[in-house]
Structure 1
């Protein structure tokens, strides 16, 4: 069941939005299921980018000699 949370102005609480379940999910294709979930998340993040948890450091290790990403 896809859902997103939004912090309300002045941190006065949260809004939870629950969406309809994905149809034909899981589909039997891990790659297709991941693509659909990521597309959903990308759409939702673009609505409230300031509220996304950007501290996740996906690229923790860089090749030697490469500048840090963060």
Structure 2
């Protein structure tokens, strides 16, 4: 996999290291990025499931009484 080098503010990275509980700046930032991606996938899955439910309701014929 290709690698990318990014410059970040040291205070920001130290805070991420403390919150993530890791001693390596590389590992801390990687954990944050992986978590962000995973949250995005979970959100997409929930949104897709909700849209499927709404489509199913819209497709049901109305009962006329």
- Given the two structures, how large is their TM-score scaled by the length of structure 1? 0.30
Instruction: Pick the structure with more strand per residue.
Output: 1
Which of 1 and 2 has greater Rg? 2
Higher relative contact order (CA 8 A, sep 6+): 1
Instruction: Pick the structure with more helix per residue.
Output: 2
